[in-house]
Structures are given as C-alpha cells and as structure tokens.
Amino acid sequence: MSNIILHIDLDAFFCRAEEIKFPFLEGKAFIVGGDGRKGIVSTCSYKAREYGIHSGMPTFQAKMLCKDLIIRPVDFEFYGLLSKEFVNYLKQYSDKVQQVSIDECFLDLTDFYRKNKTNIKTLLLKIQNELFEKFKLKSSIGVGTTKFIAKMASDYKKPLGITIIRNKDIPTLLFPLPVKSFFGIGKKTYPKLQEIGINTIGDLYNECLNHNPKLISILGNYVEEIPLYLEGKSSDEIDSSYDDPKSIGMSRTLDYDTNNVDKIQQILNKEIDNVLNSLKKEGKFIKTITITYKNASHEESFKTTSFSKSFKEFTKDEVYIRNEAIKLFNKTYNKEMIRLIGFSVKNFKNKSEVVTQMTFDDYKRHEQENTSFLIINELNREVNKKLFIKCSDILKKD
C-alpha cells in the first residue's frame, strides 16, 4: 500500500485571520499588507482578486483597481497563534506532521488509515469541517502518494477544495494544466517555457523525457527530476524536525520570491519572535542559532543553505539572541532571490545544567545596575512618588 500524504493549505490565511477578528470584512474586497507608495500586498481576499489584485502587487496599484479597497496591517502574532492551533489539531491524526509555512502542513495519514479503515473522503471532510468549526479556518486539502502530488492536489481546487490524486490519475488531472501550475515553476520561468512551446504540464513532462536542449538551458538539472515528480516517485518523507525537542525553529515560504532586504528581515524578525516565545515556554538555555535560506532559482533546484553560529556560553537572553541572529543574517545573506527563510535554535541545556561564572565585565555591569537602582529609589523617596524608572525597564514593558 502506498503512503497517504495530505497537504492541508489554509485558504487566504492572513485574510481569513482578519475576518475572524473583524467579521464585517467577510465578502469585502480587502488586502493584508503595507500602505503607502512602498506598501506591498501580502495577500488579498477572494473578492479583491476579482478586481485583478494579487500578492506581491504594490498597494497603490491595488487601490487604483478597487477604489473601496480595505487595507489591513499584518498581525503576525495573531496569525502565529492560529497557526499553532492548526498544527496541534492535526497531531491527533499522526505525529508525522511537517509544517512548511505558517499556513500549510503535510500530514502522513498512512498509519491512521490502516488502523481505522475509515472512508478517506469522509475523513477529509471531517478535518476540513472541524478546522472551521473549532477555529473558523477555511482550508483546501490535497491527497497523494508523495508530498508533491499532495501539494498539487490541494492547489487543484480552491477555496474549500478536497482533491485526491492517485498515481494513475496524474496524466488525466495534471497534464492538461498550464505549465505555470506546476509547483516549482515560478512566474519568471513559465514565460520562457511558453516561448519554446511548452504550455502544459504534459508538454513539460514529455520534453523532459526527450531531454530538450532548450529546456535544459532554462531548468538545468531540474529536467532530470521533473519526470519523477510526475510519476509519483518523489519524496513522501515527512520531516517533523520543527517539533524536535533538540531544536526549536520556524520557517516561512514567502508569498513571492524576493531579494528585498527590508521585507526579508521583517519576516525573519517575526520568526525570531515565535522561536523566542517557544524557548521561553521551554525554559531552556541555548548555544547555537541557525538561519536557513531556500534559493528561488530553478537552475539551482531551489537549493537550501544554512548558516549557524555557536555562542561561547549557553544563554536565554532574548535581546542577545536576537542581535546575534540579525548579525548572522547581515553576514550571510548575499542579496539573492529567495523563496523561504527560516530561523532555529538548538544545543539546549536546562537551567540546572548551566553554571554561570560572573566575569569582571559582568561584575561591573551588576555594580552599575545596583548603583542605578539605589539612585532611582532615593529620587522616588524624595518626591514621595514613583516617578523615576530605568530606561531598560521601560523597554521590557514595550
């Protein structure tokens, strides 16, 4: 029996999250993203898409297409909470859950199906309905024998789609689709494919088998892999390392390929926030941080690279970890177009395992803090009010 792999994709997730907070937005044309001349549409409601608005579009252009467009700022903290509820819900079916971005997961349903022998379509409908009933989240679900086929299946019908693609159905269901529908073919690549007569996924498959030299010049070694994807022979392995107690990490597939440093760092900061929040709950000290990039270039087959840094001592100092993470980003990001960025921490120790030796610098810092504390207390006593506070305490409150 082949493995049963699910890809569950939350439909227009950021917009749906805003509708949960503000129900009046349902059925309205609105976007989530930045405003102003430099603002970018992160995602848009299905109503907004009717006006030709799409992710990655400058906000000022979106407003020109729809004069009544509503703009909502990104709220990563709320989206992160919903995402955790989403993932935790799926774990009741399998411990093989791979979160590939804030709004999508792979799930290996094979063992659950073997034990329960339930009707697969009934089960998929139950998952979809419960995600809405419990969390108000709308989803599309795809099923295949590999992760690639499951991903293609979830994209096949949106929103609220349920699609099962068996290997024998691949030529019938996928080959007629436009080549830009192939997961992994980006918006800059598919026009090049059309120029050499490749218009459908079926065309792409055949020309890969024929080793079309023009195709090889566009896709490089990726030409050798594509037939495996379309024959149901690619990976079905679910990587649950994000939930590995030996590491805490978060990655996000970007809404569009970019090399905009400000945009990437904004997303990285949110990932750092999520990781630090999880680290605080675990109560662990860490020694190593890692930043991961996935290249957007087909010529490099979406190459993933990671850069790590280990500290001299174990720490749980959030300010220090964040600063070192940003330094690592500034040192390693080479301005290439990327489609995913991730951040993780590892090499854990419990508080009881960490022996902190106060260095001379630590001693001076603690002495300065104690002196400041005494001065502030004296000033507050003189005015008989708590008017004075250290700047660092203000920052902690923020």
Task: Please state, in angstroms and rounded to a whole number, the distance separating the CA atoms of residues 25 and 19.
Answer: 5
User: What are the DSSP E strand ranges found in 266-387?
Assistant: 285-295, 304-315, 338-349
Is 104 in the active site? yes
C-beta separation of 60 from 37 below 8 A: yes
28, 247, 346, 347, 389 from 308: Cα distances, Å: 44, 13, 10, 12, 37
Residue of 214, 191, 189, 193 whose CA lies nearest to 203: 193
Question: What kind and span of H or E run contains 356?
Answer: none
What's the token pair of residue 304?
A: 């993933």
Residue with tokens 């120029």: 195
Residue of 204, 193, 332, 184 whose CA lies nearest to 268: 332
Q: Looking at residue 116, what DSSP letter applies? A: H
Question: What kind and span of H or E run contains 283?
Answer: none
Residue 309 backbone phi and psi in degrees, to 5: -140, 130
In sign, the C-alpha dihedral spanning 33, 255, 106, 8 is positive
58, 165, 256, 263 from 61: Cα distances, Å: 5, 38, 17, 19
In sign, the C-alpha dihedral spanning 26, 31, 32, 35 is negative
The catalytically annotated residue of 19, 104, 207, 271 is 104
Residue 99 backbone phi and psi in degrees, to 5: -85, 115
251, 272, 317, 340 from 323: Cα distances, Å: 18, 10, 10, 21
Angle at alpha carbon of residue 129, lines to 123 and 131, rounded to 5°: 105
Give all strands of the β-sheet with 162-164 in edge-to-edge order.
97-101, 104-108, 5-10, 139-144, 162-164
Exposed / middle / buried, residue 269 (Cβ in 10 Å: 0-12, 13-18, 19+): middle
Give the up-direction half-sphere exposure of residue 176: CA atoms within 13 A in the CB hemisphere.
4
- Please list the active-site residues: 104
